[in-house]
Amino acid sequence: MGRMAVQMLQIVKRFGQVAANDNVDFSVKQGEIHALLGENGAGKSTVMSLLSGMYRADGGDILIHGEAARIRSPRDAMQLGIGMVHQNFRLVPTLTALENIILGEKSRPWRGKAWKQDKAQEIEAICGKFGLSFPIHAPVWQLSVGEQQRVEIVKTLYRGADIILLDEPTSVLTPGEAELLFETLRELKQSGKTMIITTHKLKEVMAVSDRISVMRKGRMIATMDRSVTNTRELAELMVGRQLPEASETAPGCPGNIVLEATGMKVLADHGYPALDGVSFAVKKGEIVGVAGVAGNGQKELAEAIAGLRNWEEGAMTFLGERMEAASIRRRIDKGISLIPEDRMKSGLAGSLDLVDNLMLKSYGSAERFKLGFVRKNRNERWAQGLVDQFDVRTPGLNAPVRGLSGGNQQKLLLAREIDRKPGLMVAVHPTQGLDVGATESVHNMLIGLRDSSAGILLISEDLDEVMKLSDRVLVLYGGKIVGELGKWDIDKERIGRLMAGLGETKEAAG
Amino acid sequence: MDFFVNLVIAAISSGTPLLFAVLGGILSERSGVVFLGAEGTMLIGAVVSCLAFVHTGSLTLAIAAAVGAAGAFGLAHAFLSVTLRANQIVCGLALTLFGTGLSAYLGKPVAGQALAVSMPRVKLPWLEPIPFVGPILANLDILVWLSFSLVIALYLYMYKTSWGLHLRAVGDNPATSDAMGLSVDRIRYVHVIAGSMLMGLAGAYLILVYSPNWMEGMTSGRGWIAIALIILAGWNPLYALGGAYLFGGLDALGFRLQLMEIGIPSYFLKMLPYIVTILVLMAAGWRGRNKPSIEPKALGVPYVREQRF
């Protein structure tokens, strides 16, 4: 029995009425990798934020290495040797990796060349010791996501952390990169560091952790050794009920082509091509999955098809009409629908109620308006019908949608889009941040839409989702389609290699 | 030849107050706080400086008073926008309106009174023989030299010191800086106050050197021009120099063309610097339209640690 690195006793943290942590007890042994498991909103991130000093607890005690600790700011956490690798990296994009790592260091105000070289050497030594590599003099925005994560890890090490918190560290990585990260974690463990990782991917938990704690709805449910549990038990603990056996998705029956894009070239925000020479087609009644690591052109692909981003070159034909230069309104009217990446940013209007949000794309139509006035009663009946049909749980039709849970917001958004009977739906990360139940509903809605003979372009970072739903998978890497796989030869390892830009064969991956 | 030398000298004297104000604005905006109170702060600096000089006859006290009064304005802005997290645009506009009104009131007794003031000059006779630049550099006042050294000092401060790194990080990503143990609020306070002090110095230069004669609203929009120039300079002190002297040069040129009676109505000549500022901003915006913005990412956004998104 090793010493305890972290002990949290009866921790309470409230946000308004909601208890994000409800009398949580949590302890981590010195030198172990401890996985903290739970669905979104279970309270994992709150635990991490309390330990890293971003939040302050409303009640309870925290002990670090057996001594009572008051962590009131990130600085306190750092002095206790706690370092955190955030899910959304806490890096300043315009600064170099080196500058990010030494940020916050107070000694030596003047920073000449010699000083910078000393620091670079010191950092390279840490990198070498744990097998982490990245260009240390390049500005962070030029680094890949995997490299940025390594900068974050080195940052915590440089500052002398011996307890390292990693919040959803694999959510942005390819399977290959994730494996590399696990190697690093094991190295760190060898040198005596304690690590706490949060995740909702069960396979990773089984692969890397020594002990596992499961949280649900702000409470700590169980803590156990990895050796005495299995993924199924963990999943049931997370959800709190028995899960049905995973079902195979019936394949669609593709018909005529609805969308054809050829030689597509689109620029990203920074002015360089995000997509170059991309050609593909989507047929009626099929789901085409687009796999790829974030930042390889998926966002730009979705935006270019929906008309939110200009086409530099290439042609797009939708239901027989040339559309690469058409207005957004024209595309919507013709039947292109977009489920955006960030539903609260470009999908819904948070302070408006359910009825208004459902009408957002129908303004001006005779169905909803008469002589410019809203047909209130008629619209409310229609909205109630959609809410019932798609099982949106809401306190009322006139509640602002901001107050709905993420899953219900997403169901509302899909209800609006599906009700318009689109010919093509572009769905970007449609289940991101949703719990198991809502994910299931969204998947069923997408399959239902497919079976009503719409084409669907599914862009997702969740490989399991892409593999489950897609009839075909396109793999995007560096702005090009590097592979296309049919329903029957979808293979995780192969997609993973393509996503990492390693080409088709095992030898090439060597 | 003489015409150009005189023009450059006039451009420097007209551009220097702008340069101080732009440098101040850069400091504040780099920490992530928009400071639209520039116009009001300059006016307060000018009127306080004027009063202090009239009552004490001391140049040093006149400058110190301007810097102190402007610092108080900065403190007010920092308190409202950092501690109370009020909307920075509204706070800034309020300070400008307040400063305009207060300076007019305070300046009543000294309005129109010419100040017998002369800023000491740094004589460098050995520079005189160098053609063109010699006569210009040999005869500048100390505040101009101070502004030159400030440009270099601030550049080194921002890019070569740990404090500068902290400043740039806080303006780009306060949450990260906080997680790294920096005090976001303290860094913002310091730079907003330091920035407004420089704007006060700009006002002092205006009244003590450029036009030693208090008039209501005598900044005539220079505070606003300074805010445009911050963007044009890309938040970099070195480029601030170019922007400030461009405007100063046009100001001086307009005045000179008027004297030459070339038949263009004087109103158009007075408009010249403002029009060119708009054109230059448009050109800069057009050229950078596809590039990532160099604006500090967190500019104008109050920082709240426990904010849930």
A441, A391 in Cβ contact below 8 A?
yes
Cβ neighbours of A112 in B, within 8 Å = 160
Q: A351 or A424: which carries more pLDDT confidence?
A: A424
pLDDT at residue A235 in the model: 81
* Same domain assignment for residues A195 and A330: no
Tens digit of each residue's pLDDT (9 = 90 or more) over A231-267: 888 888 887 776 555 556 777 788 899 999 999 999 8
* Same domain assignment for residues A84 and A156: yes
pTM of the shown model: 0.76
How many domains would you assign to chain A? 2
* Same domain assignment for residues A277 and A340: yes
Q: Which of A211, A239, A267 is the last residue of a domain?
A: A239
Q: Contact B306/A55, CB-based, under 8 Å?
A: yes
Q: Contact A95/B165, CB-based, under 8 Å?
A: yes
**Main-chain dihedrals φ then ψ at residue A167, nearest 5 degrees:** -95, 115
User: Which range marks the domain in which residue A336 is found?
Assistant: 257-345+422-509
What is d(CA A416, CA A340) in angstroms, rounded to the nearest whole number? Answer: 13
Q: Is the pLDDT of residue B42 over 80?
A: yes
SS3 A470: coil
Q: Contact A55/B173, CB-based, under 8 Å?
A: no
Q: Is the pLDDT of residue A467 over 50?
A: yes
Tens digit of each residue's pLDDT (9 = 90 or more) over A150-174: 999 999 999 889 999 998 888 777 7
Give the residue among B174, B166, B294 at the shortest CA–CA distance from B234: B294
Cβ neighbours of B169 in A, within 8 Å = 92, 95, 103
Q: Which of A189, A207, A239 is the last residue of a domain?
A: A239
A370 domain residue, yes or no: no
* Same domain assignment for residues A156 and A20: yes
A100, A140 in Cβ contact below 8 A?
yes
pLDDT at residue B282 in the model: 87
Per-residue confidence band for A206, with pLDDT thresholds at 50, 70 and 90: confident
B237, B289 in Cβ contact below 8 A?
no
Q: Is the pLDDT of residue B152 over 50?
A: yes
A376 domain residue, yes or no: no
- Beginning with the edge strand found earlier in the chain, give each strand of the sheet holding A480-486 in spatial order: A336-339, A424-428, A455-459, A287-291, A472-477, A480-486
Cβ neighbours of A82 in B, within 8 Å = none
**Main-chain dihedrals φ then ψ at residue A84, nearest 5 degrees:** -125, 135
What is d(CA A390, CA A442) in angstroms, rounded to the nearest whole number? Answer: 10
pLDDT at residue B24 in the model: 97
The per-residue pLDDT of chain B, averaged, comes to 90
What is d(CA A36, CA A6) in angstroms, rounded to the nearest whole number? Answer: 13
Q: Is the pLDDT of residue A317 over 90?
A: yes
Other Cβ atoms closer than 10 A to A440? 15
Q: Contact B165/A94, CB-based, under 8 Å?
A: no
Question: Please, which residues have CB within 8 angstroms of residue A124's CB and are 6 or more apart in sequence?
Answer: A136
pLDDT at residue A245 in the model: 54
The answer, yes or no, to whether ipTM is higher than 0.85 is no
pLDDT, mean of residues A110-116:
80
* Same domain assignment for residues A9 and A70: yes
* Same domain assignment for residues A213 and A274: no
Query: Cα separations (Å) of A350 from A308, A344, B138?
Result: 21, 6, 64
A385 domain residue, yes or no: no
- Region for B57 from its dihedrals, namely left if φ exceeds 0, alpha if ψ lies in -120 to 50, beta otherwise: left
A382 domain residue, yes or no: no
Q: How far is A113 from chain B (nearest CA, A)?
A: 9
pLDDT at residue A504 in the model: 60
* Same domain assignment for residues A100 and A138: yes
Q: How far is A333 from chain B (nearest CA, A)?
A: 29
What is d(CA A204, CA A325) in angstroms, rounded to the nearest whole number? Answer: 44
Cα B290–chain centre separation:
29
* Same domain assignment for residues A36 and A142: yes
Size of the A and B interface in Cβ pairs below 8 Å = 81
* Same domain assignment for residues A8 and A43: yes
Domain residue ranges in chain B: 2-287
Cα-Cα-Cα-Cα dihedral sign, residues A418, A424, A426, A432: positive
- Chain position carrying tokens 């057009």: B286
DSSP A111: -
* Same domain assignment for residues A8 and A157: yes
SS3 content of chain A, % helix, strand, coil (to 5): 35, 25, 35
A318, A423 in Cβ contact below 8 A?
yes
Q: Contact A78/B175, CB-based, under 8 Å?
A: no
What is d(CA A212, CA A234) in angstroms, rounded to the nearest whole number? Answer: 9
Question: Please, which residues have CB within 8 angstroms of residue B172's CB and are 6 or more apart in sequence?
Answer: A92, A93, A94, A95, B32, B296, B297, B298
pLDDT, mean of residues A35-40:
84
Tens digit of each residue's pLDDT (9 = 90 or more) over B169-214: 999 989 888 888 888 999 999 999 999 999 999 999 999 999 999 9
pLDDT, mean of residues A24-42:
88
* Same domain assignment for residues A102 and A200: yes
Q: Residues of chain B whose C-beta is under 8 A from some C-beta in A?
A: 160-163, 165-166, 168-169, 172-173, 175-182, 290-292, 294, 297, 305-306, 308
CATH of residue A268:
3.40.50.300
Q: Contact B180/A271, CB-based, under 8 Å?
A: no
A246 domain residue, yes or no: no
CATH architecture of B2-287: Orthogonal Bundle (1.10)
Residue of B nearest to A155 (CA): B180
Query: Cα separations (Å) of A460 from A408, A470, B165?
Result: 19, 11, 37
Tens digit of each residue's pLDDT (9 = 90 or more) over A380-389: 999 999 999 9
**Main-chain dihedrals φ then ψ at residue A363, nearest 5 degrees:** -60, 140
DSSP secondary structure string for all residues of chain B: -HHHHHHHHHHHHHHHHHHHHHHHHHHHHHTT---TTHHHHHHHHHHHHHHHHHHH--HHHHHHHHHHHHHHHHHHHHIIIIIS---HHHHHHHHHHHHHHHHHHHHGGGTTPBP-----EEE-GGGTTSTTHHHHHTEEEHHHHHHHHHHHHHHHHHHHBHHHHHHHHHHH-HHHHHHTT--HHHHHHHHHHHHHHHHHHHHHHIIIII--B--TTTTTTHHHHHHHHHHHTTT-HHHHHHHHHHHHHHHHHHHHHHHTT-SS-HHHHHHHHHHHHHHHHHHHHHHTTTSPP-S-TTTT----TT---
Is A112 exposed, middle or buried (CB count within 10 Å of its CB: 0-12, 13-18, 19+)? exposed
Cβ neighbours of A269 in B, within 8 Å = 292
Q: Determine the Cα angle at A435 with ends A429 and A437, to 5°.
A: 105
Q: Is the pLDDT of residue A510 over 60?
A: no
Per-residue confidence band for B103, with pLDDT thresholds at 50, 70 and 90: very high
Give the residue among A41, A8, A349, A294 at the shortest CA–CA distance from A174: A294
| B7: its two tokens | 């023009």
* Same domain assignment for residues A261 and A234: no
B34, B230 in Cβ contact below 8 A?
no
- Beginning with the edge strand found earlier in the chain, give each strand of the sheet holding A273-283 in spatial order: A273-283, A257-267, A313-318, A321-322
Residue of A nearest to B175 (CA): A90
| B46: its two tokens | 């000018």
Residue of B nearest to A267 (CA): B290
A30 domain residue, yes or no: yes
Please name the member of B169, B175, B297 whose beta carbon is closest to the beta carbon of A103: B169
Cβ neighbours of A141 in B, within 8 Å = 292
What percent of chain A has a predicted confidence (pLDDT) above 70? 96
Q: Which helix (H) or strand (E) holds A411?
A: helix A406-419
Question: Please, which residues have CB within 8 angstroms of residue A390's CB and are 6 or more apart in sequence?
Answer: A411, A412, A414, A415, A418, A441, A445
Cβ neighbours of A105 in B, within 8 Å = 162
**Pairing of β A287-291 and β A472-477:** parallel
Q: Is the pLDDT of residue A37 over 50?
A: yes
